[in-house]
Chain A
Amino acid sequence: DVKVTQSSRYLVKRTGEKVFLECVQDMDHENMFWYRQDPGLGLRLIYFSYDVKMKEKGDIPEGYSVSREKKERFSLILESASTNQTSMYLCASSFRLVGNEQFFGPGTRLTVL
């Protein structure tokens, strides 16, 4: 079974703090994704990566950056957290094949005070 794990289930940070969210997958997937999930808005893509050190902006990259130094690990960074970044963050991975299923982690619920 594919397993995608995220470093924290719940996180509380203060405005202006630097926040790191980590995601690890164990199936040697080329693609990895970060989404944020908000009620009524579904999942919105923040960034994705199709290979080590490669990244592409998604629909809402502002205020975020990412890092992929190893194939299995994809980090989301909030350089200076703001209250409007309070959300559920989901990581996913997939094989590179077009249209392939994405496998999701359990999510990190981030609250920025």
Chain B
Amino acid sequence: AQSVSQHNHHVILSEAASLELGCNYSYGGTVNLFWYVQYPGQHLQLLLKYFSGDPLVKGIKGFEAEFIKSKFSFNLRKPSVQWSDTAEYFCAVNVYNAGNMLTFGGGTRLMVKP
């Protein structure tokens, strides 16, 4: 079975710092990749997704992620974080021939200090 690893469980940054959250997955075939975000007290919502094409994907709120197939990675980045980015971030992988099931990473809690 495929697995998804998020190596940073907790990240604390000051406002305006740059962010990179790591995500690695174990499956070698065709995958669709997602980053979801859960703001305090809110629903889990989609930040961005990669299906095919340009491996650099841009999402909402200035986030982007880069798919590097050779490294089985899909890291999330933001050049300058804001206090409102404080949230928990989840990477998820959909294996192409496994229907619509997602496998999620363990999540990374980001705290941005004002």
B101 near A99 with CB under 8 A, answer no
Interchain pairs with CB closer than 8 A, number: 61
A100 to B, closest residue via Cβ: B100
**CB-defined interface of B71-114 with A at 8 Å, one 1/0 digit per residue?**
00000000000000000001010101001111111110000000
Q: Report how far A104 CA is from B46 CA in the complex, Å.
A: 9
**Is A26 positioned at the interface, with any CB of B under 8 Å from its CB?**
no
In the complex, what residues of A have CB within 8 A of residue B1's CB? 59
B104 near A42 with CB under 8 A, answer yes
In the complex, what residues of B have CB within 8 A of residue A40's CB? 9, 106-107
In the complex, what residues of B have CB within 8 A of residue A101's CB? 34, 46, 49
Interface residues of B, Cβ cutoff 8 Å to A: 1, 4, 6, 9, 32, 34, 36, 42-46, 49, 51, 90, 92, 94, 96, 99-107
